[in-house]
Structure 1
């Protein structure tokens, strides 16, 4: 697997407070905000996400850390990991916010979300605050 980007996502019920804290006090720039998930940037290649637990995503943690890895071809990466003997927690699936991904856990119990960007559904396009959807 060769990620093109990697970023931590903190799963928390305090998404709005986290957004306000990082933007106001640490100079982060809000680049995505759909209410239950936000992404802030500190500069090129430096981003951090916050996500409320989602009942319809059982592979996601209810609190704690998820590490996001963007790859060129998520289906190929999934097949490679299966062939190597890993058993992901979820099959790859398309998500309306603009990716196709799956999850697995590392030996420490940290959720790893591996994804490839896709065109977001119309209801998520306005959440991209940088002027363009991925």
Structure 2
């Protein structure tokens, strides 16, 4: 069996506000929208990455925190400049180099999801041993 894609759905009473956040700041566009459920494709991703938003329905609880949406970007500094310095979004996680091998920063969407934007950098020596080679494609 092959997994062709993956996405995440956040159940939120702030669907419209959250939708506008991703459309405005991440170039997202809807590829499905029935009002209470919307699939947003992140246009800047180049990979077809999607975020799904759903208003609470019977049997579903609203998102209550604890999730981080990681966005691997080509330039975290440029993204930071655009989103924080120019758009004025509030930073949760400051822009900095991390020893595990990324440079990134974090924001929060209107639903409470932490959006972490990063690009890879060389990991510090103590973290190199934790990387596992992916031999699936060899």
Query: 1:79 aligns to what SS in structure 2?
Result: helix
Q: 1:4, 1:69 within 8 Å by CA — same for their partners in 2?
A: no
Counterpart in the other structure of 1:115: 118
Q: So what's the TM-score if we normalise by structure 2? A: 0.50
Matches within 5 A, 1:45-60: none
C-alpha distance in 2, partners of 1:129/1:73? 24
Counterpart in the other structure of 1:81: 83
5+ long unaligned stretches in structure 1: 9-62
Query: 2:82 aligns to what SS in structure 1?
Result: helix
Moved over 2 A (4+): 1-8
Residue correspondences, number: 78
Counterpart in the other structure of 1:71: 73
5+ long unaligned stretches in structure 2: 1-25, 27-43, 52-64
Displacement of 1:108: 0.5
Q: So what's the TM-score if we normalise by structure 1? A: 0.51
C-alpha distance in 2, partners of 1:7/1:93? 26
Measured on the aligned residues, the alpha-carbon RMSD in Å equals 2.6
* Cα 1:84/1:108, change in 2 over 3 Å: same
Counterpart in the other structure of 1:106: 109
C-alpha distance in 2, partners of 1:7/1:115? 17
Counterpart in the other structure of 1:54: none
